Amino acid sequence: LKETLEQSIGQLRSQRLTRNSGVRSASLSSLYPSDLDGGGVSGNRHFLPTSPLRDYGDSQGNKHRRSRSASVRFVNEADNLDQLHSFHQSLRDLSSEQVRLGDDISRELSRRNRTDAELRKTLEELSEKLTESQRQETVSERVERRLQEIEQEMRAERQLVERHQDQLGHMSFQLQEALRKQDAKADETEELMKNKLVRYESEKNQLEQELEQSQKKLNESEGSREALLHQIEDLRSQLLRAEEDRVELQHQISHVAMHHQSYQDVQDDDRRIRTVAERYEREKQELEKHILELKAKLNHNAVMSEVEDLKRCIEHKDKEKAQLVMHIQ
């Protein structure tokens, strides 16, 4: 039984060493030396074998089950007590070893969980850093692209401003040329207006002189017309007197005829009547001629219409002069 327990303890030690070496090789890259501090301490501890119940196999891969039956021999009572005591000690050692192995396994599981959590946290941090770096690169690229666009816009605006300045310079030159031409044209127009104004002034003066002459002629014609009217009135009065004389002569002739005067008296009266009649005819012809002359003179008074036309023409010239003066101003 003692030999069996020693073999079981040796197999457990070899199995534990194999397991510890495998765990260390599997998690060596992600473990710290402090994570296995319990293993180092437990490795230096020596526990007596406690359980002879199971054969775990040797380190060379022996997997067949060994016979668990063992012959128990009781030599004497003292040996039995020693063996029982040693068996009890081995059982306690095995129980403590089991507890220690459970603690080691729990620590290993917690270490692995902690390692996995730290690994996940590290991976998340790396992923965040990678995403942030990509985002920063994207932002920098966007900023660079925006800066290039702004530079292109500024270049285009600068070119547009230069073209606008060129156009403004060209327009300024054209405006200066147009102003010079307009000034020259305005000078010519002003000179022409002044010449026209001088000509209109001379024409106005001439028309005023003609108007004065026409007014003089009109006044003269008015005076001659009044004189002619007086003459016509005188001639009419003379005709009336001649008519009265003729009536009186006829009355005398009839009176002579009624009183049966002598033939000589009749002849004298007849001659006198013929003389008066001839004189009356002559005066009548002269009066008719004079009346015709007066009518001709009256017809000559048609110059009044011409004077009115001259007045209207002068008024029109005055209006044109006022318009020219306003245009020159």
The letter for the amino acid at 59 is S
Number of C-alpha atoms within 13 angstroms, CB side, residue 219? 5
Separation CA 177–CA 155 (nearest Å): 33
pLDDT at 19: 76
Domains defined for the chain, CATH in brackets: 2-58+75-126 (no CATH), 194-328 (1.10.287)
Separation CA 188–CA 122 (nearest Å): 96
pLDDT at 247: 78
The owner of tokens 């008296």 is: 265
At 193, list the tokens.
Answer: 């207006």
The letter for the amino acid at 220 is E
The letter for the amino acid at 5 is L
In this prediction the pTM is 0.27
pLDDT at 302: 62
pLDDT at 50: 45
Instruction: Give 3-state DSSP helix, strand, coil % of the chain, rounded to 5.
Output: 85, 0, 15
Other residues' Cβ atoms within 10 Å of the Cβ of residue 306 = 13
For each successive 10 residues of the chain (329 residues), what is the average pLDDT?
A: 79 80 50 42 43 42 42 56 83 87 88 89 86 70 82 87 85 86 83 82 81 77 72 75 76 66 60 72 75 70 67 75 72
pLDDT at 61: 41
Non-local CB neighbours of 266 within 8 Å, separated by 6+ positions? 256, 257
